[in-house]
Structure 1
Amino acid sequence: MNSRALLAPLLLIAAIAFVSALQIAAAVFAPVAGALFIIALVWPFQKNLQRFLPKLLALALVVAVIVCVFVALTSAAAWGFGRIGRSVVAEGARFQALYNQLADWLEGHGIVVAGVWAEHFNVGWLLRILQGVTARLNTTISFWVVVIVYVLLGLLDTEAIAQNIRRALSSETANAVIRGGVLTASKLRRYMLVRTVMSLATGAFVWALSAAFGLRFAAEWGVIAFTLNYIPFIGPFVATLLPSAYALAQFGSPEAAILIFAGLNIIQFVIGSYIEPRVAGYALAMSSYVVLFSVFAWSFVWGLFGAFIGVPITIAILTFCAQFSSTRWVSEIFGASAASESDRL
């Protein structure tokens, strides 16, 4: 058997071993990935502050801003899920009765999946989802504390690392690595800016639609849609499904729930599939298949955090691949070419 025949299985084994290592050591690697992502976002802010302030004071201000943003987002999500969860607990019996009536109505109209739906898709299921998300928000605090520590240390050493790269590697390779890092950071900042604006727009439209239909907790549904929109595909799906399920219980009418579900999906489709990719431009120059694969693959490795950071990781991989002739084909197949990227810097 020649070497080329052995290459494919060896690469497959190496990839499986690498993914397994990332999954087993998630407590080590996931915070590092999160820290690198945040450093890429805030480094220009840190660098500009250092022109007017001492380095440590500038670093303290940057970390304070990061903590404030994290606390604000976490508090908003916990507020929305908490209020809706308490409502489901308080009126669980009434909601369950409405769900049972709806299941009987579906069975009476010949919809054979109604029994299975009533068994699994009920108020208890909705409550477990809400409680699970709220509990997850509470347990992420320790994770993000570790991330902040890595960010603190990373911002202190960013310039030194760049100098070490230039000393350790050849001039051409060092320039390619540093150029890849700069370009990746630029694309990630554009990606997060666009996603934040689109998340705000999604939350506002979800709130307006919920209020127009008279759905209770319209503001809370808007906040939930805003926060979950940072997780591609999975977040919008949950933000659409939960209010639709709640509408079934509140109105006891499948027609009203279907209208709300359709309206929410139109909002998500127009903003997420039409407006956002065009506004993001080269920062998200990937096919929908690659984006979807990134979300599910990294959620398998690191759970909810992996679903959030999967697309940024893929952006970074494709950007670095574009800097080297041996791997440029990967970027050209799955993302933007190196030439188009550099022209937009």
Structure 2
Amino acid sequence: MEHDVDDDKRRMPLNLTLTLAALVIIIGGMKLGADLLVPLILSLFIAIICTSPVHWLYRKGVGRRSAVLLTLLIAGVFLVLLGSLLASSFATFMEALPKLEGQLHKQYLSLLNWLSSLGVYIQPKQISEWLDPSSTMQMVPTFLGSLGSLLSQSVLIILLVIFMLFETLDFRNKVAQSLENPAPSLRRFKEFSYNLKRYLAIKTLISLVTGALIYAACLLLGVQFPLLWGTLAFGLNYIPNIGSALAALPAVLLTLVMPDGGLAKAGMLAGAYLVINFVIGNLIEPRVMGRTLGLSTLVAFLSLVVWGWILGPAGMLLSVPLTMTLKIALNSHPETRWLARMLGGRLE
């Protein structure tokens, strides 16, 4: 007995080394295959969200193919309408961008004169390099290039979603026929599937509410391009910690320099962003999610950095869903449940 214990202790460093080496290889492979992984992951998440209405229609007597096609048709119509409205708003924004750059330059000169009147020592050349609009605008083609690449893969994503939805209808039967004792595996998969669908549904609903409230706030304040800012708030709400700030920054800054804007309107818009994100992010979302579907602040921020490094900008948007998927998978197995607790938030 003691001999077995000593052997286990000797094997621990070797097992740890092999585990770390395997982890490095997996992460390296994911980074190299990011172009392939991103559409696969997006397809999987979309299919998981669409699974519930497909199964509901199937239980109501609708055929398999009809249930899948009807669900995708409704989702597609919604996305096409939203995309057309967003494209129109973005086109209007790009037409007004040169005027906004001129207003921003005037505000910049006013800021330099105000700092000089206060006796603050500044280097205009260095500040100009920091605030150069051309350097900032160089980020726009990069972002649009990533978005365009993602949109160009939309056909692949749609096909993958369709095939995945058809597979989910027979998945339980396949598992039951493949395993000698399928009950434990099916039970763990059911727990994993339920928690993941619940998380994605709640997060998507909360993001929609956040985007709708930002859109309404922009309409009430008379801010231009409200649909653009609402959609941006919806998408960036998936990014933990800094997503709300990234969504608020362009809207507030452009409102500050717009002819019908100003300091008062920009301040009210910033206050609206602050109140909406504080109430939803700190009061409503933790109560709706619960402790089971929560992540610690450190883990959420590290997931943003790690998944962003592996998968690029799409990894930042998917960082929390991916980490939550990992946590739910770990929580579904008794031997790895302790790791899921380590990833969770504060215990009450």
1:1-345 maps to which residues of 2 (within 5 A)?
2-51=10-59, 52-106=61-115, 108-109=117-118, 110=120, 116-125=126-135, 127-130=137-140, 132-171=142-181, 174-211=182-219, 213-250=221-258, 257=266, 260-282=269-291, 284-335=293-344
Choose 75-84 or 236-245, whichever is displaced more.
75-84
CA–CA distance in structure 1, aligned partners of residues 292 and 48 of structure 2:
14
Name structure 1 gaps, 5 residues minimum. 337-345
CA distance 1:94–1:30, change in 2 (3 Å): closer
Instruction: For 1:240, give the aligned amino acid.
Output: A
CA–CA distance in structure 1, aligned partners of residues 255 and 126 of structure 2:
20
Name structure 2 gaps, 5 residues minimum. 1-8
Contact 1:19 1:301 in 2 (8 A): yes
CA-CA distance at 1:329 after TM superposition? 0.9
Deviations, residues 207-227 of structure 1 (Å, cap 9, x unaligned): 454455554334432333234
CA-CA distance at 1:257 after TM superposition? 4.5
TM-score (norm 1): 0.81
CA-CA distance at 1:18 after TM superposition? 0.6
CA–CA distance in structure 2, aligned partners of residues 259 and 268 of structure 1:
14
CA-CA distance at 1:124 after TM superposition? 3.4
State percent identity of aligned pairs: 25
Contact 1:198 1:276 in 2 (8 A): yes
Instruction: For 2:31, give the aligned amino acid.
Output: Q
CA distance 1:210–1:156, change in 2 (3 Å): closer
Contact 1:81 1:224 in 2 (8 A): no
CA–CA distance in structure 2, aligned partners of residues 329 and 182 of structure 1:
20
Contact 2:295 2:343 in 1 (8 A): yes
CA-CA distance at 1:297 after TM superposition? 1.8
Deviations, residues 250-271 of structure 1 (Å, cap 9, x unaligned): 2696676456435423332222
Deviations, residues 74-116 of structure 1 (Å, cap 9, x unaligned): 4454444433232113443343232233244345443759865
Contact 1:191 1:284 in 2 (8 A): yes
Deviations, residues 240-294 of structure 1 (Å, cap 9, x unaligned): 1111221332269667645643542333222223222212225632222222222
CA distance 1:112–1:71, change in 2 (3 Å): farther
Contact 1:85 1:130 in 2 (8 A): no
CA–CA distance in structure 1, aligned partners of residues 70 and 78 of structure 2:
12
CA distance 1:195–1:228, change in 2 (3 Å): same
SS of structure 1 residue aligned to 2:335:
coil
Choose 174-183 or 12-21, whichever is displaced more.
174-183
CA distance 1:325–1:212, change in 2 (3 Å): closer
CA distance 1:195–1:81, change in 2 (3 Å): farther
Instruction: For 1:46, give the aligned amino acid.
Output: V
CA-CA distance at 1:24 after TM superposition? 0.9
SS of structure 2 residue aligned to 1:50:
helix
CA–CA distance in structure 1, aligned partners of residues 183 and 126 of structure 2:
59
| Bigger radius of gyration | 2
Q: CA RMSD in A?
A: 3.2
Deviations, residues 149-201 of structure 1 (Å, cap 9, x unaligned): 11211222224433333343452xx4444333333333333333333443343
